[in-house]
């Protein structure tokens, strides 16, 4: 028995929401005009038929969920579905289904659909815009913290990162101050392009020697700094010697011609008792670096 009288049908037909009614076997009893338009069907052609008799399997699986549960338990079911409107294309819908009881005690399923496409599209656009802004912000942070030529951290990023590392492990932090020897000659004799290539080449020599936890930064011109965490003084000096040896033995091939380079390194191991800052440690590493330069370059000197 159809539980909907003519007045109710007229009322439901006037609503802007697609509405459906099914019997206790989930066979169609009636749908309103908006439902007919959305799915290109006629109510008379649906009566007594199951979803699988009318709609594609994929759509049935998506849209038919919860029908039996609602009929058996009387609990409301609400689900998001995607349907295809023949005129407007893909539409995002929320379908709310409830159980209603006819005058003879028979249960029916009443479903009301609400089009949320505009909201969904707006949310998708908002999510895309948010992701784009986040990516742009990350890119800006990267530019703010990275040396554009070598890809190392810059001085600002080093000084922002180092205090926390030193505070967390003050007795096992070492700073290396590095300076490429006679770098001005490279620029003067081979041009600035060669100088830029030399700086990038130097970084490619150093990175494989460092651990992932170590920090390499370009702090100006041909000057670099390395922050080593969790190493003792002997290990730190060994790392510095390996860097010297690697740079010394690995020429840059620029325009088919080798450019041989060396590096001088000053080493300063932080002191837990002295409560040293990154400025203090780097200043002392610099002093050791200048002694390395004065002693003939291409060497490692440790601060006292």
What CATH number did the domain enclosing 70 receive? 3.30.450.20
Whether the per-residue pLDDT at 1 is higher than 60: the answer is: no
8 Å CB contact between 77 and 97: yes
Of 106, 134, 222, 255, catalytic: 222
Confidence band (pLDDT; 50, 70, 90) for 179? very high
Same domain, 17 and 104: yes
Residue 133 lies in a domain: no
pLDDT at 185: 93
The position carrying tokens 């008379």 is 44
- For residue 177, CA distances in Å to 197, 266, 289, 301 come to 20, 5, 6, 10
The mean per-residue pLDDT over the stretch 36-58 comes to 87
Q: With both helix axes pointing from N to C terminus, report the angle between 155-168 and 278-294 in degrees, rounded to the nearest 10.
A: 110
Same domain, 53 and 153: no
From first CA to last CA, the distance across the chain in angstroms is: 99
Percent of residues in the chain assigned helix, strand, coil, to nearest 5: 45, 25, 25
Question: Annotated catalytic, 72?
Answer: no
Same domain, 83 and 154: no
pLDDT digits (tens, 9 = 90+) for 123-147: 889 988 888 888 888 777 767 789 9
Residue 138 lies in a domain: no
- For residue 299, CA distances in Å to 181, 236, 246, 259 come to 10, 14, 12, 19
Backbone φ/ψ region at 50: left (φ over 0), alpha (ψ -120 to 50), beta? beta
DSSP strand E in the chain: where? 19-22, 28-31, 77-85, 89-101, 107-115, 153-154, 173-180, 215-220, 223-229, 252-254, 257-259, 263-269, 300-302
Residue 50 lies in a domain: yes
pLDDT at 257: 93
Residue 136 lies in a domain: no
Q: How many domains does the chain have?
A: 2
Whether the per-residue pLDDT at 225 is higher than 90: the answer is: yes
Domain range for 232 is 146-302
pLDDT at 283: 92
Same domain, 169 and 28: no
Q: Of 125-134, 157-166, 200-209, 221-230, which range is least confident?
A: 157-166
Tokens of residue 292, six digits: 């390395």
Same domain, 179 and 281: yes
Residue 125 lies in a domain: no
The partner residues of 259 in beta bridges, in order of sequence, read 252
Give the whole-angstrom CA distance, residue 171 versus residue 158. 19
Give the whole-angstrom CA distance, residue 288 versus residue 268. 8
Same domain, 88 and 219: no
pLDDT digits (tens, 9 = 90+) for 75-109: 999 888 888 777 788 888 899 999 998 878 899 99
The mean per-residue pLDDT over the stretch 19-36 comes to 92
Q: Which of 56, 85, 120 is the last residue of a domain?
A: 120
Residue 129 lies in a domain: no
pLDDT at 62: 61
User: What is the overall mean pLDDT for the chain?
Assistant: 88
The mean per-residue pLDDT over the stretch 2-23 comes to 83
Residue 262 lies in a domain: yes
Whether the per-residue pLDDT at 244 is higher than 90: the answer is: yes
The mean per-residue pLDDT over the stretch 182-203 comes to 94
Whether the per-residue pLDDT at 53 is higher than 70: the answer is: yes
Residue 289 lies in a domain: yes
Same domain, 116 and 157: no
Same domain, 34 and 70: yes
Same domain, 18 and 113: yes
Give the whole-angstrom CA distance, residue 161 versus residue 153. 10
Give exposure, 231-261, as e/b (b: 16+ Cβ within 10 Å): beeeebbebbeebbebbeeeebebeeeebeb
Confidence band (pLDDT; 50, 70, 90) for 245? very high
Confidence band (pLDDT; 50, 70, 90) for 194? very high
């Amino acid at each position: 028995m159809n539980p909907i009288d003519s007045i109710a049908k007229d009322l439901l037909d006037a609503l802007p929401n697609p509405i459906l009614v099914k019997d206790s076997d989930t066979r169609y009893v009636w749908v309103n005009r908006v439902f007919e338009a959305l799915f290109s069907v006629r109510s008379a052609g649906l009566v007594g038929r199951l979803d699988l008799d009318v709609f594609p399997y994929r759509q049935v699986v998506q849209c038919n969920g919860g029908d039996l549960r609602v009929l058996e338990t009387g609990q409301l079911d609400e689900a998001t579905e995607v349907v295809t409107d023949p005129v407007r294309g893909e539409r995002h819908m929320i379908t709310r289904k409830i159980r209603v009881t006819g005058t003879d005690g028979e249960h029916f399923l009443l479903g009301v659909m609400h089009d949320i496409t505009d909201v969904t599209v707006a949310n998708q656009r908002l999510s895309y815009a948010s992701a784009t802004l986040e990516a742009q912000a990350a890119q800006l942070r990267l530019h703010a913290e990275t040396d554009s030529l070598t890809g190392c951290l810059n001085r600002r990023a080093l000084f922002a990162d180092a205090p926390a590392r030193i505070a967390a492990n003050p007795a096992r932090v070492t700073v290396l101050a590095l300076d490429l020897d006679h770098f001005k000659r490279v620029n003067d004799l081979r041009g600035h392009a060669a100088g830029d290539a030399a700086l990038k080449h130097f970084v490619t020599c150093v990175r494989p020697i460092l651990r992932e936890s170590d920090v390499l930064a370009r702090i100006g011109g041909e000057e670099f700094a390395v922050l080593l965490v969790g190493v003792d003084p002997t290990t730190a000096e060994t790392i510095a010697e390996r860097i010297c040896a690697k740079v010394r033995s690995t020429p840059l091939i620029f325009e088919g011609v080798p450019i041989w380079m060396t590096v001088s390194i000053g080493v300063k191991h932080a002191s837990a008792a002295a409560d040293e800052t990154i400025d203090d440690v780097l200043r002392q590493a610099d002093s050791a670096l200048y002694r390395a330069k004065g002693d003939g370059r291409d060497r490692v000197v440790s601060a006292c």
